[in-house]
Amino acid sequence: MPKYKIHPRYASKKQLITLNADSKAVNLCGTPVLKKYPATLTTDEWSETIPAATQKDLEFVYKSNVKDSKGFPIVIVDESEPPAKADSKK
C-alpha cells in the first residue's frame, strides 16, 4: 500500500482545508483545526473541529488529481516510505 503526503512545497502551511470522499472537511496538513462560526440573528457563536486528514483522505485527494494554479499536485506518494514487502515465501 503506498503512503501519501502533501507535497513539500506546502510543508510550511498550517492549514489546507478540503473535502474528503464523504464531503467532510479535513485538514491536509495533518493537524485538527478549530473552525469558529460567528453569531447570527438566529444562532449563537459556535465552533467545530475539522479533523486531520487520514491516509484514506490523502489517497482520495491524490486520486482526484487536485492541483494548484500552476498545475502541481497537492498530495503525492510518499517515496520515503519503503513499499510493503512482497510475500517472501519460496
Partner 1 sequence: MAEIVDISSNTGCDFVGGVYLAYATDSANITAVTVSAGVITGFTMSGTGQWGKLEFDDVNNVAFFNETGELVGNTVRMNGEGLMQFSGISQAKITAANQAKACCGVVVIWFQNDGLKRVQGIDVDLSDNWTFTTPTQPRILPNLNSDTGENEAIMQYNVPHQGKYASPTTSLDGAAIEAL
Distance of closest approach, residue 58 Cβ to partner 1, in angstroms: 12
CA 66 to chain centre: 11
Angle, CA 1 vertex, CA 51 and CA 57 arms, to 5°: 20
Is 52 a binding residue for partner 1 by CB under 8 A? The answer is no
Q: Rule CB under 8 A: is residue 23 a binding residue for partner 1?
A: yes
User: Please, are residues 8 and 16 in contact by the beta-carbon 8 Å criterion?
Assistant: no
Say whether residue 31 binds partner 1 (CB under 8 A).
no
Binding site for partner 1 (CB under 8 A): 10, 13, 15-19, 23-25, 28, 33, 35-37, 50, 61, 64-69, 71, 74
